[in-house]
Amino acid sequence: MNKKQLHEYIKGSLESGEELRIQMQMADMAGDEKLLEMLDSEFNDMNPEPGLDIRRPLAGIKKQLGFKNAHRMVTGAIRVFVCICALACIPLSVLLVMKTQPAEAVSWQQTFVPEGERAEVVLPDGSIFSLNGGSSIIYPDKFYGDCRKVFVEGQVYAKVSPDASKPFYLCSAESEVKVLGTRFEFKNYKGSEHAELMLLEGKVDYTAVGTARQTVSLCPGDMMVYDKTNHKISLSRFNPESYATLDKYRSFYFMNITLKDIANELQASFGVPIYITDASAAGRRYFALFTNGESLDEILSTIGKDDRLKVSRTGTGYNISLKKSIPYNNNKNSPE
């Protein structure tokens, strides 16, 4: 990893696969003076907004990466894993989540599922994670210490093995889920405006770690949506017995979700590009359930029944626009 790669990672401009590679390299470089020098250089090059002091967040990042007093290394074996999230006090996005482990004993495993595919991962404790397309999970080959922690991006259905003495943590951008033993579905794609959690069995605590920490406890049948734009958490109810889980079905539950996030999820699930060409269309919200194995054509045809939207096929995928078009090129679901 070089300075340019670190800069692009902190900016959040890398693809998921490259992000994960940089994350693993940073984990391996925990406590390395070369990494410290690159961090110092990166933060020295920042131009913070007037009145913002980046010294404290930089000191915290260095501490979590295994450094003490700026240029002295902390003794002892420290393993660090890095996830993207928002640091409210600087105009960049980065979150460093530390996991103290015996360095020589831990090997981090990574699974990334391409768009249009699905996969199942069995963790060292027997927990089972089903991953949708465009999703990834990173976990250790063995859980040490007094907790179990994994890092997720995208959509997963989890069956977590119970262990009251060692709680389970799922970490994702701006989100953390604390679990004791349960079944749930979690959704948080890169670039999405929402994180979603549906609890089928057991109990979880969801914490939004954006500009201010917010924690809510969920019971079976609770559905939580965290809006990353306004930082609000909303709760609703569903029937767990009739819920079609990701490990068995390709089903979609859109509960007051923007068309942008719907398009991202459908593209990840079916592996077909979906381009939104209008700003107003991207921000429109929908309530919709698709639980009978509907095809992408059928889903988009249903969404297209909205009198203001136009859905059309392209050579490589689909275009979604308003019938009166407003030029829009500010999200990844736009044609090049």
* Mean pLDDT (whole number) for 267-296: 88
264: its two tokens? 């991202």
| Alpha carbon distance 104, 84 (integer Å) | 25
Q: Choose the weakest-confidence range: 86-95, 127-136, 149-158.
A: 86-95
Confidence of residue 319 (pLDDT cuts 50, 70, 90): very high
Contact 161, 181 (CB under 8 A): yes
Confidence of residue 173 (pLDDT cuts 50, 70, 90): confident
pLDDT value at residue 151? 92
pLDDT value at residue 289? 83
Cα separation values, 144 from 97, 179, 181, 325, Å: 16, 16, 17, 55
Return the closest-CA partner of residue 264 out of 220, 309, 317.
317
pLDDT value at residue 254? 87
Q: pLDDT at residue 228 above 80?
A: yes
Cα separation values, 201 from 128, 162, 173, 263, 284, Å: 14, 12, 24, 28, 32
* Mean pLDDT (whole number) for 191-207: 93
The per-residue DSSP string of 306-325 comes to STTEEEEE-SSSEEEEESS-
| Alpha carbon distance 87, 280 (integer Å) | 28
- DSSP 8-state assignment for residue 278: B
| Alpha carbon distance 37, 67 (integer Å) | 11
Q: Choose the weakest-confidence range: 20-34, 89-103, 163-177, 246-260.
A: 89-103
Mean pLDDT computed over every residue of the chain: 75
259: its two tokens? 């068309």
* Mean pLDDT (whole number) for 188-196: 91
308: its two tokens? 């203001």
Q: What's the half-sphere exposure (Cβ side, CA atoms, 13 Å) at 151?
A: 27
pLDDT value at residue 87? 23
| Alpha carbon distance 31, 46 (integer Å) | 23
328: its two tokens? 């829009």
| Alpha carbon distance 291, 287 (integer Å) | 13
Confidence of residue 72 (pLDDT cuts 50, 70, 90): very low
The per-residue DSSP string of 192-217 comes to -SEEEEEEEES-EEEEEESSSEEEEE
**20 CB-contact burial (10 Å; exposed 0-12 / middle 13-18 / buried 19+):** buried
pLDDT value at residue 315? 85
pLDDT value at residue 54? 43
pLDDT value at residue 288? 85
- DSSP 8-state assignment for residue 104: G
Q: pLDDT at residue 255 above 90?
A: no
At 63, give phi and psi (nearest 5°): -60, -45
| Alpha carbon distance 118, 191 (integer Å) | 20
| Alpha carbon distance 177, 220 (integer Å) | 15
The per-residue DSSP string of 174-197 comes to TEEEEESS-EEEEEE-TT-SEEEE
pLDDT value at residue 43? 59
67: its two tokens? 């450094």
Return the closest-CA partner of residue 256 out of 288, 293, 218.
288
- At 95 the three-state DSSP class reads strand
Q: pLDDT at residue 269 above 80?
A: yes
| Alpha carbon distance 193, 230 (integer Å) | 10
Parallel/antiparallel/unpaired status of strands 135-140 and 108-113 = antiparallel
pLDDT value at residue 146? 86
Q: Which domains does the chain have, with CATH numbers?
A: 3-104 (no CATH), 107-242 (2.60.120.1440), 252-322 (3.55.50.30)
Q: pLDDT at residue 144 above 90?
A: no
Confidence of residue 85 (pLDDT cuts 50, 70, 90): very low
